[in-house]
Amino acid sequence: MDKEPGSSLPQPTSPQGSPQLAASWARIRGRLRDEVGEVEYRTWLRQMTLAGIEGDEAIVLLPTRFLRDWVRGHYGERLRALWLSEVPGVRRVDIRVAAGMTDAGPEHGLGESLVPRAVEPARPSVPAAPATTGDRAGDWIAPLEPRFTFDTFVVGKPNEVAHACARRVSERPNSPGFNPLFLYGGVGLGKTHLMHAIAWGIRERGDLSVAYMSAEKFMYRFIAALRSQSTMEFKESLRSVDVLMIDDLQFLIGKDNTQEEFFHTFNALVDAGKQIVVSADKSPSDLSGIEDRLRTRLGWGMVADLHATTYELRLSIVEAKTSAAGVMVPPKVLELLAHKITSNVRELEGALNRLIAHANLFGRTVTMDSVQEVLADMLRAHEKRISIEEIQRKVSEHYNIRLTDMASPRRARNVARPRQVAMYLAKQLTQRSLPEIGRRFGNRDHTTVMHAVSRIAELMAADPSFAEDVALLRKMLET
């Protein structure tokens, strides 16, 4: 960017070129996220990128047509309003599919006119603080998500211990050995869900007051109290609760003052026989940056972890969620999801929400084809990693040559051609560079690999049955 220093800011064009623009965009996304909630945001909006501003128009990109149409139909107007309030010069928003990312699906022609509000994933109405708690911890309490109850939590091997502990605390707060309850595990594995479930359970019985909040919120409240010199009220309101739940404690790492305050609150509550529940992304002993005395106290009660999901748990989760939503999804599709979307439950839910919305919108049942279309971007990201070894093995099996021939100097056609096919597939199916591929094929030069790639492409163009052969190999490797 050849911006002259000191000159008035030129019309911004791309977010890379303009920090202000990037900041505005970040704020717009943040506001949208607050408005629609985490789940909805992740399902539909997380993948938006800003291409830039052209005239009075902001250009927003999404990876697939389906997402583009959906975002246009549901959030287009809101995006426009947010843009206008951030950057008054921007009056229109153009939502497009990112170049090079067009999915194979048909055009749906789902325009602005079609705003299928009715099929939106039901948004929880934010519950008011329960009457029983009165004003004691009043505006402190973060709203609980109605979906996050024990009924909707699917139990499997990876979470059965954490679940049992959570239930126990919910049914009988402050049981010996369960205070504090410390739940930990990676992102999207159900910590927040379990914490809310505990809180709902306790509130249902109605006689105990529960304060649930993220550690971040705790920190902001504390800092605000310091500023307004109301730390006494802060302390009192917190110490008057029966159950204190702090989510994502790792946010307090390195925040010494807040940690100190939390430590004192913690001790005061435990001494008064109140229950504490804490979650974090790591176990107390692995939470570096937490003061030792706090760490020690955190480990006093029950420490339970949520392990990474297994295929079985993922399958049970998608089964439970589709049947709760009342949509018919063929078992094959559910298996595909459980098989492919392995990172965490949040991603899995996002995929499922999209499928359900798609099915409702187009009034048809979910099929293998619609999955490929609707989840193109997600499935791409979770594509199976294929190794050069695997390719060599499959190709030599297919052409009936020895695996060692892949790396041998032999140049006889019956060996050289399959070797070229393997090099071609290695280039297409892995992220390896040409020199790296060459090395794995008996230390050949990268120009040899290059030659193989173009030779095979030529042969495929000239000979359909050869092309079919290679396509078959490719398919076998990919699935």
Residue numbers at the binding site for ligand ADP (CB under 6 A):
39, 148, 152-154, 159, 185, 187-193, 317, 345-346, 349
Work out what residue 119 binds among ligand ADP, Mg ion, none; the CB cut-off runs from 5 to 8 Å by kind.
none
CB of 215 to ligand ADP, least distance (A): 12
Choose the binding region for Mg ion from 89-97, 152-160, 185-193, 269-277 (rule: CB under 5 A). 185-193
Query: How many Å from the N-terminal Cα to the C-terminal Cα in the chain?
Result: 45
Which residues pair with residue 247 across a beta bridge? 214
**Contact partner at residue 221 from ligand ADP, Mg ion, none, CB < 5 to 8 Å by partner kind:** none
Q: Where are the alpha helices (DSSP H) in 2-145?
A: 19-36, 38-40, 65-86
Task: Give which of ligand ADP, Mg ion, none residue 373 binds (C-beta under 5 to 8 Å, depending on kind).
Answer: none
Minimum CB distance to Mg ion smaller for 247 or for 261:
247
Residue 154 interface partner, choices Mg ion, ligand ADP, none, CB cut-off 5-8 Å depending on type: ligand ADP
Count of residues in the chain: 479
DSSP string, 108-152: ----TT---GGGSPPPPPPPPPPGGGTTSSGGGSPPPPTT-SSTT
Q: What are the structure tokens assigned to 152, written together?
A: 């909707």
Give 191 or 297: the residue with its C-beta nearer to ligand ADP. 191
If one asks whether residue 192 binds Mg ion (CB under 5 A), the answer comes out as yes
Cβ proximity to ligand ADP: between 250 and 430 the closer is 250
If one asks whether residue 170 binds Mg ion (CB under 5 A), the answer comes out as: no
Whether residue 173 has a cis bond before it, omega within 30° of 0: no
Q: What angle do CA 210, 181, 40 make, to 5 degrees?
A: 65
Answer yes or no: are the C-beta atoms of 211 and 243 closer than 8 Å.
Answer: yes
Residue 39 interacts, among ligand ADP, Mg ion, none and using kind-specific CB cut-offs from 5 to 8 Å, with ligand ADP
Piece of 44-52, 134-142, 186-194, 313-321 that binds Mg ion (CB under 5 A): 186-194
SS3 245: strand
- Which of the stretches 22-30, 188-196, 418-426, 431-439 binds Mg ion when contact is defined by CB under 5 A? 188-196
Q: Is 214 in the site for Mg ion (CB under 5 A)?
A: no
CB of 349 to Mg ion, least distance (A): 13
With tokens 């079609």, the residue in question is 114
Minimum distance between the CB of residue 119 and ligand ADP, rounded to whole angstroms?
A: 19
CB of 346 to Mg ion, least distance (A): 9
Give the residue with the Cβ less far from ligand ADP, 105 or 186.
186
Q: What's the min distance (Å) between Cβ of 89 and ligand ADP?
A: 38
Nearer to ligand ADP, 188 or 438 (CB): 188
Give the Cβ contact number of residue 473 at 10 Å: 22
Give 299's contacts (C-beta < 8 A, 6+ positions apart): 182, 284, 285
Q: Kindly tell me which of 23 and 187 has the beta carbon lying closer to ligand ADP.
A: 187
For position 392 contacting Mg ion by CB under 5 A, the verdict is no
Residue 375 contact partner, candidates ligand ADP, Mg ion, none, CB within 5 to 8 A by sort of partner = none
Sign of CA dihedral 137, 141, 146, 152: negative
Question: DSSP string of 167-214?
Answer: HHHHHSTT-TT-SSEEEEESTTSSHHHHHHHHHHHHHHH-SS-EEEEE
Query: With binding defined as CB under 5 A, does residue 43 bind Mg ion?
Result: no
Of 192 and 258, the one with the shorter C-beta distance to Mg ion is 192
User: Is the Cβ of residue 247 or residue 373 nearer to Mg ion in the bound state?
Assistant: 247
Q: Is the dihedral of CA 290, 295, 297, 298 positive or negative?
A: positive
Q: Give the residue with the Cβ less far from ligand ADP, 45 or 391.
A: 45
Residue 270 touches which of Mg ion, ligand ADP, none (Cβ within 5-8 Å per kind): none
- Which C-beta is closer to ligand ADP: that of 183 or that of 270? 183
For 117, counting Cβ atoms within 10 Å of its Cβ (0-12 exposed, 13-18 middle, 19+ buried), the class is: exposed
> How far does Cα 127 stand from its chain's mean position?
25
Q: Which residue is nearest to Mg ion (CB)?
A: 192
State which residue has the least CB distance to ligand ADP.
Answer: 190
Residues 6+ apart with CB under 8 A from 118: 360
Beta strands in 388-464 (DSSP E): none
Calpha distance 174→184 (Å, rounded): 19
Binding-site ranges for Mg ion (CB under 5 A): 191-192
